[in-house]
Amino acid sequence: MASASLSDSVPGVTPGKRLALRGMIFAAALGATSAAYQQIGEARDRRRFPPPGRLIDIGGRRLHLFEAGVGPPTVVIIPAVGDGVLLWLSVLRELATETRVCVYERSGIGWSDSRRHGRRTVDGMADDLHTLLDAAEIKPPYVLAGHSFGGIVARRFTARRSDGVCGLLLIDSSHEDQARRLREEGWREGSLSNVQRALRRQARVLGARRLAAALGLLRHLDTEAEREAPADFVAASRADILSTRRRRVVVRELLILARPLGQPPDLGALPLTVITSAEPDHRWRARPAWVRLQAELAALSSDSRHVYASRAGHYVHLDEPELVVQAVRDLVNRCH
């Protein structure tokens, strides 16, 4: 005679409750299996894909730095939310024929160690970059290129080390006060939107997603990896997209963007170029409020240029890389 299940042996448990209990047990088992599969996959990825750049100790943590070319000045690329070096390798290789260029990964992104203690803040990110450049013996002057959220980090770094920065490029940059300003104007890209995006990321069952990708059911992931990285790093990019570390950082950085961060600092007469996405069918960034925020960023310096990327979405360096490369070259020449 077959033995009864745990739910069947509990007195007073109705059939509906037994069904719910079985569902909970099944969900818990599925979650544990998914987590185990994810851990095994990530361990395999770490063995398959060693860091392409240097791991620099900044005091108990190591940050990943990829560099090429000979300066001065040194171009320092600061990526967007959760983004690492792979999205910038094509631009870096193009620029490295003329000057020294480096791109790094913030704590917990790509091959960089996670921050074990303390809250993730923009000031902390700017301090980490300062420490990284010193530890890597990369001397000023610097041309900073900040994309999206990286633009805020770039401005915070510049405010703290203005004597070392000779040029600043902001690529469809976030604005410190955009959460409040966009919310007041009824935009879906205000603070609530970033919270919703963070929650959707957090809710992903990564082990199941990894399995679906392995079975060829998520072809858009391959398309994303091919778009983000040069051909020799597509597999590594795909592994990063599927990683728990990337999700964790994206969630935390989106939550930072969901609250006001003060006002952007005045840049004096620092050579500044602002590139704004102006793709006609780009769903929301072509709206007037975003353009006004970008114009405010361009007005931070008395020596600025404002360029519109007519064929690019938010990832201008992927859609119109030649525009970004030329903007960096112009700033490098203005530093000499």
pLDDT at 282: 47
The Cα-based distances of 289 to 180, 182, 205, 248 in angstroms read 12, 7, 35, 30
Where does residue 275 fall: left (phi above 0), alpha (psi -120 to 50 degrees), or beta otherwise? beta
Banded pLDDT at 286 (limits 50, 70, 90): very low
Q: Which residues of 36-55 are buried (b: 16+ CB within 10 A; e: fewer)?
A: ebbeebbeebeeebebebbe
pLDDT at 218: 73
| pLDDT value at 292 more than 50 | yes
Q: Is residue 10 part of a domain?
A: no
Q: Is residue 211 part of a domain?
A: no
Q: Is residue 7 part of a domain?
A: no
**Across residues 265-280, what is the average pLDDT?**
91
**Across residues 82-100, what is the average pLDDT?**
94
| Orientation of helix 122-135 relative to helix 149-160, angle to 10° | 70
Alpha helices in 146-243 (DSSP H): 149-160, 178-184, 191-202, 206-214, 219-228, 234-241
| Orientation of helix 234-241 relative to helix 15-48, angle to 10° | 150
| pLDDT value at 195 more than 70 | no
| pLDDT value at 217 more than 80 | no
Report CA torsion sign: 111, 76, 279, 94.
negative
* Pairwise pLDDT comparison (135 vs 224), residue with the higher score: 135
Q: Is residue 99 part of a domain?
A: yes
Strand partners for 67 = 102
Amino acid at 331: L
Neighbours of 187 (CB within 10 A): 16
Residues 168 and 145: their CA atoms lie apart, in Å, by 6
Cβ atoms of 249 and 257 within 8 Å: the answer is no
Amino acid at 62: R
Angle at 301 between CA 300 and CA 303, to 5 degrees: 150
* Pairwise pLDDT comparison (252 vs 57), residue with the higher score: 57
Residues 176 and 265: their CA atoms lie apart, in Å, by 10
pLDDT at 123: 94
pLDDT at 12: 59
Banded pLDDT at 6 (limits 50, 70, 90): very low
Q: How far apart are the first and last CA of the chain?
A: 88
Q: Is residue 27 part of a domain?
A: no
The whole domain housing 160 covers 54-194+250-335
Token pair of 332 as six digits: 């490098």
pLDDT at 75: 98
Of 26-35, 226-235, 310-319, where does the model show the most confidence? 310-319
pLDDT at 196: 65
The predicted model scores a pTM of 0.82
Token pair of 133 as six digits: 């450049």
Give the chain's domain count. 1
168-188 confidence digits (pLDDT tens): 999 999 999 988 888 777 655
Instruction: Say which CATH number the domain at 79 has.
Output: 3.40.50.1820
Phi, psi dihedral angles at 104 (to 5 degrees): -130, 170
Banded pLDDT at 26 (limits 50, 70, 90): low
Q: Is residue 88 part of a domain?
A: yes
For the ranges 103-107, 119-123, 200-204, 210-214, the lowest mean pLDDT is seen at 200-204
95-154 confidence digits (pLDDT tens): 999 999 999 999 999 999 988 777 889 999 999 999 999 999 999 999 999 999 999 999
Strand partners for 37 = none
pLDDT at 244: 76
Considering the chain, what is the average pLDDT of its residues? 84
29-83 confidence digits (pLDDT tens): 656 666 666 677 777 877 888 999 999 999 999 999 999 999 789 999 999 999 9
| Orientation of helix 191-202 relative to helix 244-257, angle to 10° | 160
pLDDT at 99: 95
Q: Is residue 21 part of a domain?
A: no
Alpha helices in 259-320 (DSSP H): 288-298, 316-319
**In 222-292, at which residue ranges do the beta strands (DSSP E only) sit?**
272-277
- CB under 8 A, 24+ apart: contacts of 238-245: 238/213, 239/45, 239/48, 239/49, 240/84, 240/86, 240/110, 242/41, 242/45, 242/206, 242/209, 242/210, 242/213, 243/42, 243/45, 243/206, 244/38, 244/42, 244/206, 245/108, 245/109, 245/110, 245/114
Give the 3-state secondary structure of residue 160: helix
